[in-house]
Amino acid sequence: MFQDVPITSIVPLENYTPIEFERTIASIRDYGLFHPLILQEAEIDITKGEQTYRIIAGRARLLACQKLGKIIIPATILPFDCPNPHEIALHENLRRNNLPWYEQVELEKELHELRVSEHGEKPKGRPTSEKPGWSQNDTARELGLALGTFSQDMALATELQRNPNLRNVKDKTTALKIIKNIVKRQVAEIEQAIPSEIIMDEVLLGESETLLRTFPNETFDACITDPPWSEYKVEELRSDQGKLLPIFLELFRILKRDSFLFIVTSFVDFPFYTNALPKLGFRVQSYPIIWHKTKTITHGRAPWQYARDYEPIIVAVKGEPSLTTGIELSSILNFDNLHYTKMIHPHEKPIELIEALLRTSTHPGAKVIDPFAGSGVCLEACKKNDRRYIGIEKDKKFYEGILRRLK
């Protein structure tokens, strides 16, 4: 039975503060409630003569609606004598088409554990058709999933219990890549072996600060990156240059000793980074590399102004690395700017520029990371020059563009 229910008639919840709570509030405020709650009839409130309800599914949605000041809320009502409300709630939630991947795998695990509690766990090695007992294959069949997919989901749900920060990862594919690296390191530690090689040549979708924490210390030989520039941000964000510094602190941790960090930046941000990076442990060249963007036409300048046809590149190091050339190199690099019709990202850099930095700072086989992958040009340069790479991009559109570029 579906009906609108007064929020005051729902039995109050215990304190419930999931990571996604604020996003739930924003979604309901901006777009409304797409999925009704699932409630079960409880006892009649004698003092008010009203029916009350127990919450079966939708706790975060209920609290969000309460915080938004809503008086009634749509709900599916289960009768008082419904024998399996929890099972109904699990299936109802799994049918939600906007379910985040982490909620999906947690609900799948919860359903599997419910079935095992009902039927007992099927001994390993016993044919799937033989009873008694319940296996992952049985739950996968109930949900209409391939066994391999369901097994991966169970691994993700288990790792989520140990590492709730995985909820910040935007998609399941990236989360799987992360836990594969975690499992490899755990196996190596148990076997007291040399730490295993992390999985390389991958693009990850998500927030850099979160994903960088999943890599072990001193993993990468270099970082070449082009972070957001403050001059391109809206006014209220211009003073918040420091919000990227936790990312560079993580970079210092995961870069090997005697490694390079190149930051393509703006003349506005150059002094900020040259002052901030030494506080994180980096040594910074006091003057930049100048990328002279040949064939650039500057728009919007006054008649008395010179062309804005260059960008500064910060050179920072961890330890005492050496350039690969053995000779002194000019700080002026001349490479044509990309024409806007050929760009797949609004701030894409020419691959020749990235290759020049790559070849003078690393040797073949080096591991390179770009936490602001954007167009993927750094990753393509690595691929073409026999370097291993990891790229991180938080925008799904650009992430998918990088995947196409690297095919």
Give the SS3 label for residue 178.
Answer: helix
Rounded Cα–Cα distance for residues 225 and 244 (Å): 12
- Which of 300, 221, 310, 214 lies closest to 265 in space, CA to CA? 310
Contact 216, 397 (CB under 8 A): no
Rounded Cα–Cα distance for residues 335 and 352 (Å): 7
Q: What six digits make up the tokens of 214?
A: 């999943």
Q: What six digits make up the tokens of 57?
A: 């599914």
Rounded Cα–Cα distance for residues 317 and 314 (Å): 10
Tell me where in the chain the CATH 3.40.50.150 domain(s) lie.
200-298+307-406
Tell me where in the chain the CATH 3.90.1530.10 domain(s) lie.
2-82
Can you give the length of the chain in residues? 407
Where do the H-state alpha helices sit in 228-269?
Answer: 245-254
Against a cut of 0.75, is the pTM above it?
no
- Which of 262, 238, 257, 278 lies closest to 358 in space, CA to CA? 262
Q: Which CATH architecture has domain 2-82?
A: Alpha-Beta Complex (3.90)
Contact 351, 377 (CB under 8 A): yes
How many other CB atoms are there within 10 angstroms of residue 240's CB atom? 10
Rounded Cα–Cα distance for residues 81 and 5 (Å): 19
DSSP 2: E
How many other CB atoms are there within 10 angstroms of residue 329's CB atom? 11
* CA distances, 103 to each of 16, 93, 154, 368 (Å): 15, 9, 12, 33
Q: Are strands 220-225 and 255-264 parallel, antiparallel or unpaired?
A: parallel
According to DSSP, the residues that pair with 254 across neighbouring strands are none
Give the SS3 label for residue 388.
Answer: strand
- Which of 368, 369, 407, 374 lies closest to 393 in space, CA to CA? 374
DSSP secondary structure letters along 270-290:
HHHHHHHHHHHT-EE-SS-EE
What is the CA 62 to chain-centroid distance, rounded?
27
What is the CA 179 to chain-centroid distance, rounded?
13
Rounded Cα–Cα distance for residues 180 and 277 (Å): 32
User: For residues 149-170, b (16+ Cβ closer than 10 Å) or e, as one string?
Assistant: ebebbbbbbebbeeeeebbebb
Q: Walk along the chain (407 residues) and give the pLDDT tens digit of each residue.
A: 667 878 777 776 655 555 556 777 887 888 788 778 888 888 676 666 678 888 877 777 888 888 898 888 888 888 887 877 777 777 777 776 677 888 889 889 888 888 888 788 887 655 555 557 889 898 988 888 888 888 888 988 888 888 877 887 878 888 888 877 776 666 555 555 545 567 899 999 999 998 999 899 999 999 999 998 765 444 443 445 678 999 999 999 999 999 999 999 998 899 999 999 999 999 999 999 999 998 777 777 788 999 889 999 999 999 999 999 878 899 999 999 888 788 888 889 999 999 999 999 999 999 999 999 999 999 999 999 999 999 999 999 999 999 999 98
What one-letter code names the amino acid at 263? I
Rounded Cα–Cα distance for residues 220 and 365 (Å): 11
- Helices 59-67 and 21-31, packing angle to 10 deg: 60
What superfamily does domain 200-298+307-406 belong to in CATH? Vaccinia Virus protein VP39 (3.40.50.150)
Q: What six digits make up the tokens of 103?
A: 């909620």
Rounded Cα–Cα distance for residues 36 and 77 (Å): 10
Q: Are strands 37-45 and 310-318 parallel, antiparallel or unpaired?
A: unpaired
